Amino acid sequence: MGALKLLPLPRVLMGLALTVGCLAVNALPALAVERTGELGDFDCPPGTSLNGLTGVYALYFGGGVVAGLRGLCSSVVAPMISRATSCSAVLVQDPSAPDGTYTLDVAGRRFAVYCRNMQRARRGLVLAPSQYISLPVTGAGENVSEYAAGGASPGTNVTTAYTKIRVNPYPESIRPLTFSVEIADETFSRSSGRLCHSDASTPCPSASAVRSMPYATAFSCDPGGFSGRANIDLSGTPFAVVDSFTAQGASPVGTVKFLSPQVVNLTGGGDCGWEAPALTYNPFDRNPLHDIRRGYDLEIRFDPAAARGRP
C-alpha cells in the first residue's frame, strides 16, 4: 500500500470517520487532520508503523485527546498532538496520558515537548509533570558542557552531553514567546570524567569532586586561559538562544560565539572561572539549583524563521 495522504480539513468536523488501512475510528470529536512538516512530528516509534503504513501525520483536537487513537502505531503508544498549553494541561484533557512527545499550543505557537512523570503527577507523587525540549543534534562536542581539568583542578575533563533540556512551562514572555531552561536538570544526559575542583588533595574531598556539568556552561581553573568548552545546538527545534552569557568566577575569561541564532560555542576559564547564562555559583554537580533562579538560567525564544536560517 502506498503512502497515506491526509489533506487539510476544516478545523471542526463532527461525526467524521477516519479510516487508516483497515482500521476505522468513528465519530471523533472536533477532529481535523493535516500534513505536518512545519508543525512538528507525529512519528510512530522505530520499528513500528501507522497500522501498516509509514509516514508523519498530525491529529488536532478541539475538545481533547482521543485515547482510542493510541493503537494506531502497532500497539505502541503514539505521540499525541493537542490544544494543551503544557504537559499538565495534557493530563487534564486525558488523565491516562503517558510519558511521551506532545505538541503544545502556546499563544498560537505550536511546538513539540517531551512530557515526563505524567502518571506520577496524576497520582500526586510530584507537583506536576516535567517538560523537555528534545535536542535532535547530538554527538561529539554537540550540546555538551565541560569543566576542563588542569591548573588548580587536577583530574580528567568532566563532560556532560545532553539529549533533552527541561523548560519551565510558564513563559518568561509572550511577545516574543520565551521560555527558561533549567540548566541543572541532568535527567537526559550522560557525563564522563572526574576532577577535583581547585584542590590538589589526594584523595579529593567529596565537596570538591566534580562529576557533571550543567547545560550551557564552560569552566576551567587555568590562570590566563579558557580551556573549558561548551556547545548549544537547538537545530531541528523552532527555538533560538537568547544571549545572556557572562564570564564569572575568579579572574574569569571566556568567549561566546553565535554560529547562528540556534548554535552557540562557549569557552570559559580564569583562575577558576566559567562562561554561563545568568549568574551561577560554582556551576557543577547541580549547584545552579541553589541560585536565585533555581537553575532556570538560560532563555530560549520561539523563532521558526531563525530555525529556517532566515535573518
Per-residue pLDDT, 242? 97
Query: What confidence category does residue 153 fall into, taking pLDDT thresholds of 50, 70 and 90?
Result: very high
DSSP 288: G
Q: Is the pTM of this model over 0.85?
A: no
Nearest Cα neighbor of 265 from 217, 211, 193, 212 is 217
Checking if the pLDDT of 75 tops 70, the result is no
Least confident span in 39-43, 161-165, 276-280: 39-43
What's the pLDDT at 68? 34
Rounded-to-integer distance, Cα 209 and Cα 193, Å: 11
Residue 82: pLDDT band with limits 50, 70, 90: low
List b or e across 134-148, with b for residues whose CB sees 16 or more CB atoms inside 10 angstroms: bbebeeeeebbbbbb
* Measured CA angle at 278 (ends 277, 281), to 5 deg: 95
| Confidence at residue 157, expressed as pLDDT on a 0 to 100 scale | 97
Tell me how far CA of residue 109 lies from CA of 7, 12, 86, 179, 304, in angstroms: 21, 19, 12, 13, 10
At 51, list the grid cell: 497500522
∠ at Cα 49 (47, 55), nearest 5°? 115
Pick 57 or 89 by higher pLDDT. Answer: 89
Task: Tell whether the model's pLDDT for residue 239 goes beyond 70.
Answer: yes
Calculate the dihedral angle through the C-alpha atoms of 110, 113, 117, 118, rounding to the nearest 10 degrees: 30
CA angle 20, 23, 26 (to 5 degrees): 90
Range 30-41 average pLDDT: 31
Measured distance CA(93)–CA(188) in Å, rounded? 26
pLDDT on residue 81: 47
Q: What is the pLDDT of residue 186?
A: 97
Q: What letter would DSSP give residue 52?
A: T
- The average pLDDT across 63-71 equals 34
Residues 191, 214 contacting (CB under 8 angstroms): no
Average pLDDT over residues 62-86: 46
User: What pLDDT sits at residue 121?
Assistant: 62
The model's confidence at residue 224, banded by pLDDT at 50, 70 and 90, is: confident
Which amino acid is present at 106? V
Mean pLDDT value of segment 235-248: 96
Instruction: Identify which has the larger pLDDT, 81 or 142.
Output: 142
Count of residues in the chain: 311
Mean pLDDT of the chain: 77
H/E element holding 122? helix 118-122
* pLDDT at residue number 30: 28
Using CA atoms, how far residue 184 sits from 11, 118, 172, 293, 296, in Å, is: 40, 21, 18, 11, 8
Closest CA to 233 of 172, 307, 287: 307
Cell output for 8: 487539510
State the cell numbers at 200: 590538589
